A and B are shown apart, each in its own frame.
Chain A
């Protein structure tokens, strides 16, 4: 991808800047627009309503109208806030969630950074979000914001443990941290996906299947908690804390938090897809290969990747309208008493199976 950009622009720095900005402008912002619309429509249909209908055909322009509104709004900074950190926080949060996209392979030819530590980098950079949230909550000088930020920090740090344990499980099987290589291992057909025990018809694969399913469940549950989605949305708990850590924000800074939230939703879905469900690989071969059009393959790969990612974003929305919010003690009990022991047992069993 960088070679192509280098050929076009003739400058290495320019090529890197454009290559880095590409997922933001081509993918994340349109995705955030689409996801907000999808969220409202899914919410509507699940409650037997229609969702937005008045702005454009079937309310398609609703999010664009919302964005225009957010751009026009006054950027209020309350007088008692800690201005330096208050202004820094949304950018930090957005940078944290955007940084995760650097190591996610969107298609065979596009990956921000093919570093060998891919998944490790994502886990590390996602933790930056916690600092941003805590900064936002504390500098707002508002009890609800502070409470929300504290809850958020406690929750994200707790749920990182089962996430990392599950990632470790998968890394033990694949033997690599690079998401690109992980994806390459799951090529061809869907039974080669990690959730079905990986490629090759061996005894290991058959034995791994149930444990991979458990790993996937644990990963999905804890990733939900990491992006503060229902049923783990206590940091934002609108019925308790106004809006949690971003109560005091308005205008574009609020939009930063908002788009970071939706970018995060896709990021965790993309990671789940990449390590368990074959990433950008098609479940049953490529049309481009059959027809001999090699240029079609990367486009198909991008399609499969976004389709799988958006499906899991949809599942997040689906869960939002299924489950009520957990209490703080229940939240911690789920993490420490259930997910972490299961993740550990799973890790040990998978370790034994891979030794076989």
Chain B
């Protein structure tokens, strides 16, 4: 019998591949079906957000974060707004803080549902996709009721929120939270003991704790490898230190562990939301500082000073002190941080968006080394990348 013909061939996966969740290109070196080398090629969705933000005032920049990472929109806005607030040295009123927590966790559940649904599609389970998007739509309906937009909210303000939570918000969220556990349990029953799901995820795309740390992975990827780091616990913001919730950890660092963690995170988010609803205080939702936040409309007809403040804020913007800060939040895809450098003028010198997806994707070649081509799809799905977030 002749020797089997062995050679390494290089193939191109993407950038227009249905499993790449955006526009990601992978150059794979294959020996048969086995991957010996991977070179991710990114940048197809590079939009220059960081450059754009240098040319706008701090207030105008609020619209960008949700467009960078379009699946966990409120969390993104929260990250930017927190960084500016840290730069200014201000704290939003308690009602705004609790409302931010509720909206952030709703956002997180919505984002994880998109992840679960699209992973289902990648692994040939279309019904999961339909179920998840149905639930996500209910969350987006609530967010639309609060902010006026399904996704690109632009709702948070430096020092609080644009307006108060609408009437009936609490009842709506509670009703959804009552339905949610049954839905998550349903996905659990549908997938966790599903033979195909387990065979395709267990032991696939393994990332060791050492590699996860070296690549700076965060979020469910890092926790899947068993390392306990959650920004909400390590560097609490918006009062997260007062909430009682668990951070689920994995053991093997494979795609299945990440799936289990994300399911559990949805349950924990529900726990946080219920605690937050119980303690939602009344009072103002925007800071009472005329140099930072716009004056309420009723003041404009009575006070000349309010009109001047309104004019200066709109035509010139706020002037934070010179300095630089980094503020981070726990996004569904890991640590999302904003590093803002100010020179004391009305525009930032530099806004750096530290995205979790960028670092997580960097670990992909390690995850799929010596795996087969079909596992690439599982690995990409389990990283849960948003290419807009990777390329910015």
Say whether A associates with B: no
The chain B residues found within 8 Å of chain A, CB to CB, are none
